[in-house]
Amino acid sequence: MPRLIRYGLLAAAVLVLFALLSAGALFVISGGQPVDFIQKTLIRFSLSSRQADLNRAVSTDTTPLRFTVNPGDTPPVIAQNLLAQNLITDARLFVDYVRLYDLDRQLEAGTYFLNRSQTIPDIAIALTDSRFSQFAFRILEGWRLEEIATAIDNNPFFPFTGTDFLAAVGPGAPVDVAFAQQVGLPAGASLEGFLYPDTYQVPAEVTVDWLRDFLLDTFQERVGPQLPLDAQAQGLTLYQVVTLASIVEREAIHTDEQPMIASVYRNRLRDGMRLEADPTVQYPIGRAGNWWPRITAANYSNVISPYNTYLNDGLPPGPIANPGLAAIQAAVYPATSDFYYFRADCRSDGYHDFARTFQEHLANGC
């Protein structure tokens, strides 16, 4: 064999051996995934000059935006949707980033709350855990339906409006038959009083029906099984209890005074006296922006409404607000007293002075 051919074969053998050794080394270095390693190396090189772009947000606007990753969405699809909502400015950059750091395999379907002040790394990390796709929503004790609706409108996370909510909980809205029977809800009545006030973590996919049912379920859970039985033993339905509790909630500033205020009303009901509760006058005349207006003595007689307990005997037709558990318990388990009157004390501390007679009541005036 000519020397030139032998040298050529030897050189080829050396090249093949070098290639095999290089491939083997690449296989070891890449952890058995040489193609993935090469792709990431190229992406890493590309991104090395784009760190400023990665860490630059679209704007400083922190307004939350609802963003949904649907099941089966690929990183390019997610990137295009982010681009469409102006959450990022470069779809390819997002895809490369999640590919380089293996986040492309961790992106989860779900609804998220993003904003334009977040960078691509911020958004990529956020989209890997849909468990945090929740938001806080607080309902205060003593709020009426309309105040809850306003809070919904003021919360950018809700996918529905306060008007939608009122349609689901207001007069004439469909009500679960079992719930209505349990609490003694009259036909056509609203769910005022039974939307339990608390601070909730609400899922991003919340619907108006889900929120309504969740609040009602929470009411039943917090009230428990014994209180309705004890109320029934006293001749009261849960609807009557919550009606009275809603008045107590609106009258009391301090929770520890609720049982005493409840005792006054229970004494009046027992002895056939009118409740004469100011919140029952405020309720029918409340309007948007001022749901609990200041009233005067003239309103006691000129507010013509079945809710006005200065003009009507017994309890009003239904709750005037959504009371907390303490007020509900106070309505069923009031303090033992012989008081029939109370008024704000002169110390401006939010507490009240109680009286047995009207003369004592007048003497408690400032």
Query: What tens digit of pLDDT does each residue of 109-130 get?
Result: 988 999 999 999 999 999 998 8
Assign 212 a pLDDT band (cuts: 50, 70, 90). very high
Token pair 């491939």 is found at: 23
pLDDT (tens digit, 9 = 90+) per residue, 315-337? 999 999 999 999 999 999 999 99
Measuring CA to CA, how many Å separate 318 from each of 81, 146, 273, 310?
Answer: 48, 15, 18, 15
Question: How far apart are alpha carbons 200 and 272 in whole angstroms?
Answer: 40
**CA 275: distance to chain centroid?**
35
Q: Please compute the mean of the pLDDT values over residues 172-179 and round it to a whole number.
A: 95
6 or 68, greater pLDDT: 68
pLDDT of residue 25: 45
Residue 209 CB contacts under 8 Å (≥ 6 apart), including other chains: 168
Residue among 320, 118, 360, 153 nearest 239 (CA): 320
Question: How far apart are alpha carbons 264 and 244 in whole angstroms?
Answer: 11
pLDDT of residue 210: 97
Residue among 130, 339, 327, 139 nearest 241 (CA): 327
Measuring CA to CA, how many Å separate 331 from each of 145, 222, 308?
Answer: 21, 15, 19
* pLDDT, averaged across the chain: 90
Q: Please compute the mean of the pLDDT values over residues 341-345 and round it to a whole number.
A: 92
- Domain locations along the chain: 51-132, 138-335
Assign 27 a pLDDT band (cuts: 50, 70, 90). very low
283 or 132, greater pLDDT: 283
Assign 16 a pLDDT band (cuts: 50, 70, 90). very low
Q: What are phi and psi of 305, to 5 degrees?
A: -160, 145
Q: Residue 193 pLDDT > 70, yes or no?
A: yes
pLDDT (tens digit, 9 = 90+) per residue, 39-83? 778 778 788 888 988 889 999 999 888 899 999 999 999 999 999
Contact 321, 144 (CB under 8 A): yes
Token pair 């919140």 is found at: 279
Contact 332, 227 (CB under 8 A): yes
CATH number of the domain at 51-132, please? 3.30.1490.480
Q: Please compute the mean of the pLDDT values over residues 329-352 and round it to a whole number.
A: 94
Q: Please compute the mean of the pLDDT values over residues 281-307 and round it to a whole number.
A: 96
pLDDT of residue 234: 97
Question: How far apart are alpha carbons 169 and 148 in whole angstroms?
Answer: 11
Residue 98 CB contacts under 8 Å (≥ 6 apart), including other chains: 75, 104, 107, 124
Contact 126, 112 (CB under 8 A): yes
In DSSP terms, 201 is beta-bridged to 136
Residue 193 CB contacts under 8 Å (≥ 6 apart), including other chains: 239, 242, 243, 245, 246, 318, 319, 320, 321, 322, 323
Q: Are strands 341-344 and 352-355 parallel, antiparallel or unpaired?
A: antiparallel
Q: Residue 177 pLDDT > 90, yes or no?
A: yes
Which tokens belong to 148? Answer: 């809850």
Contact 62, 122 (CB under 8 A): no
263 or 2, greater pLDDT: 263
CA-based angle 336:342:347, to the nearest 5? Answer: 115
